[in-house]
Amino acid sequence: MTALANLANLIRSKNAGPFVLTLDIMFEDEARYRRVRDCGVITTDLIATLYRLPATQVRLFFCDAALAIKVSIPRPVAQGGVGDSDGHGGQQYAPLLAIEVP
């Protein structure tokens, strides 16, 4: 098993509007991307569990041409709203780092 952080070239989060976050997992080579994509560990259920959401609120995309996995989830608090501790959404990627990949 290998932590996703050790396989991906870049793992980041950012706003996709005031109500949605996007999580990006990008790879520098096709072998690593396919290893993660094909093992089936990255699922809507896993993301829903990590971010405490219903799986129906998770949108998961495998972008083969870009060697990237993209996820869209609702922001826990609207951007700039009371209680928003991450206005740019740039700190929300952390739960992805420790995902174990066979």
Domain ranges (residues) in the chain? 2-75
pLDDT at 44: 98
pLDDT, tens digit, 9 for 90 and up, residues 47-57: 999 999 999 99
Cite the DSSP H helix spans in the chain: 30-39, 44-50, 94-97
Average pLDDT over residues 49-70: 98
Average pLDDT over residues 54-68: 98
Answer whether 39's CB lies under 8 Å from 102's CB. Answer: yes
Q: Is the pTM of this model over 0.85?
A: yes
Task: Tell me phi and psi for residue 94, to 5 degrees.
Answer: -50, -40
Amino acid at 70: K
- CATH code 1.10.1330 for 2-75: no
Q: Residue 9: which pLDDT band, with cuts at 50, 70 and 90?
A: very high
